[in-house]
């Protein structure tokens, strides 16, 4: 991958929750890369660490969660006085409540959630909330902020946007609320939008409309989207690249066409076998489900975390050795001991870079 194409480089990220009952290793050494302008889907069963990975990037973890190791290099491009300024910032080193990460949240990276009420207030009009978000980051007057907010509501497909400025969230349908949240996320023109299961709570028609909207916005605004989902149908429709997660680690990453046509990790293979295939005669047949259950987070298996459920597990190897990340193609990696054969390179990372180094 060309270095200037890189937007996000997550290296060996570990995030843990220090609870009274023990340590939950929610994210246990996650590495992946994201290119500028792409839609990257992160997919995996519930509880595998997708949300915590996203929240770690933005440093919005709930107590008692903490990033304990790893790097999150964000390749930021901003226009300052008409000049392009590029910086590489290790988000993992920024103070969670410090001015640097606050400046990045919303302005460079915005996040939307499954439940719009996570980020919308029930006691303020949506217009006021969006205007406030705009004025937090941009030096504009109240009337300019209002114009911009109306334009954003129009852009996300809310009819009669000037009138809707005065609406409260309870006056909007689920789909409209989701659109209002997207408008708020877009208020400062982020280069990366993280969407965490944005359509999971919606009916299929509304889901399709919101996905269409995200795709349009990405193309029009030149944004990159990190789309978190448990739904492989959404991945097939939206992704350029896909990261498959299992129990706090990345099972494999690659271009969506490659991963769907030639899945390498036994977990990805099992996931793909578990979805209905359009056009195939599945009537009367049962779909495969993945054997076993995701283990409880306090007792992670040793070795490869997937080995207790894996059909191809090698005794005395997969239960002992943590699989390395193996490069099996350009921009294609898999973390599985089946591919750990001499000759195939494991991924090597660049030397650690200092935080906030400018590369003008
Ligand atoms: N506040 C918390 N306290 C303790 N454990 C948590 C907390 N939030 C999430 N976890 C644990 O972190 C793991 C990953 O969760 P999450 O990232 O939300 O999964 P996903 O989004 O893939 O469904 C789970 O085992 C979950 O129980
Ligand atoms: Mg989640």
d(CA 28, CA 40): 20
- Return the pLDDT at 353: 41
Element (H, E) at 182: helix 174-185
- The three-state secondary structure class of 145 is helix
- Return the pLDDT at 79: 87
- Return the pLDDT at 276: 72
Distance 229 CA to ligand 2 centre (A): 8
Task: Report whether pLDDT(65) > 60.
Answer: yes
> Which ligand 1 atom sits nearest the alpha carbon of residue 49?
17
Q: Which residues contact 232 (CB under 8 A, 6 or more apart)?
A: 43, 271, 272, 275
- Return the pLDDT at 261: 95
The region that residue 166 occupies, defined by phi over 0 for left and psi between -120 and 50 for alpha, beta otherwise, is: alpha
Q: How confident is the model at residue 340 (pLDDT cuts 50, 70, 90)?
A: confident
Both tokens assigned to 341: 């054969």
Lookup result for tokens 């226009």: 79
Q: How confident is the model at residue 357 (pLDDT cuts 50, 70, 90)?
A: very low
Q: Ligand 1 pocket check: which of 29, 49, 305 to mutate, most ligand atoms within 8 Å of Cβ?
A: 49
d(CA 91, CA 54): 12
Pairing of strands 326-329, 332-334: antiparallel
Pairing of strands 249-255, 241-246: antiparallel
- Of the listed ranges 116-125, 326-335, 350-359, the least confidently predicted one is 350-359
Lookup result for tokens 């992670």: 300
- Of the listed ranges 114-128, 248-262, 274-288, 304-318, the least confidently predicted one is 274-288
Both tokens assigned to 188: 């400062």
Q: Which residues pair with 244 in a beta bridge?
A: 43, 252
Distance 297 CA to ligand 1 centre (A): 8
- The three-state secondary structure class of 230 is coil
Q: Which residues contact 97 (CB under 8 A, 6 or more apart)?
A: none
Q: Largest Cα–Cα distance of the chain, in whole Å?
A: 68
At 327, give phi and psi (nearest 5°). Answer: -80, 115
Burial class, 157, CB count within 10 angstroms (exposed 0-12 / middle 13-18 / buried 19+): middle
d(CA 352, CA 44): 29
Pocket lining: 19 vs ligand 1, CB cutoff 6 Å? yes
Both tokens assigned to 300: 């992670």
Q: How confident is the model at residue 296 (pLDDT cuts 50, 70, 90)?
A: confident
- Of the listed ranges 3-7, 77-81, 174-178, the least confidently predicted one is 3-7
Pocket lining: 150 vs ligand 1, CB cutoff 6 Å? no
């Amino acid at each position: 991958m060309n270095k200037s194409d890189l937007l996000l480089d997550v290296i060996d990220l570990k995030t843990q929750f220090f609870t009274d009952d023990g340590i939950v290793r929610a994210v246990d050494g996650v590495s992946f890369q994201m290119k500028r302008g792409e839609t990257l889907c992160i997919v995996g069963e519930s509880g595998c660490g997708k949300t915590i990975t996203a929240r770690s990037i933005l440093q919005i973890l709930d107590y008692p969660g903490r990033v304990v190791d790893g790097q999150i290099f964000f390749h930021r491009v901003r226009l300052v006085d008409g000049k392009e300024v590029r910086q590489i910032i290790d988000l993992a080193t920024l103070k969670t409540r410090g001015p640097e990460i606050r400046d990045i949240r919303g302005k460079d990276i915005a996040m939307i959630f499954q439940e719009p009420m996570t980020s919308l207030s029930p006691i303020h009009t949506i217009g006021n909330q969006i205007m406030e978000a705009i004025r937090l980051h941009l030096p504009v007057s109240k009337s300019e902020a209002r114009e911009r907010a109306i334009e954003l509501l129009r852009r996300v497909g809310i009819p009669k946007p000037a009138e809707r400025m005065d609406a409260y969230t309870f006056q909007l349908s689920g789909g409209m609320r989701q659109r209002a949240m997207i408008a708020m996320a877009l208020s400062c023109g982020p280069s990366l939008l993280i969407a965490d299961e944005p359509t999971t709570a919606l009916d299929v028609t509304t889901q399709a409309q919101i996905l269409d909207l995200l795709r349009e916005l990405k193309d029009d605004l030149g944004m990159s989207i990190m789309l978190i989902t448990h739904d492989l149908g959404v991945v097939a429709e939206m992704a350029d690249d896909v990261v498959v997660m299992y129990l706090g680690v990345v099972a494999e990453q690659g271009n969506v066409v490659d991963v769907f046509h030639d899945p390498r990790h036994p977990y990805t293979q099992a996931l793909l076998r578990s979805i209905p295939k359009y056009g195939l005669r599945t009537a009367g047949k049962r779909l495969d489900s993945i054997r076993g259950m995701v283990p409880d987070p306090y007792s992670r298996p040793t070795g490869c975390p997937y080995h207790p459920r894996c059909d191809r597990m090698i005794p005395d190897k997969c239960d002992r050795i943590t699989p390395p990340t193996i490069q099996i193609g350009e921009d294609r990696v898999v973390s599985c001991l089946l591919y750990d054969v001499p000759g195939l390179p494991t991924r090597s990372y660049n030397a650690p870079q200092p935080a906030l180094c400018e590369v003008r």
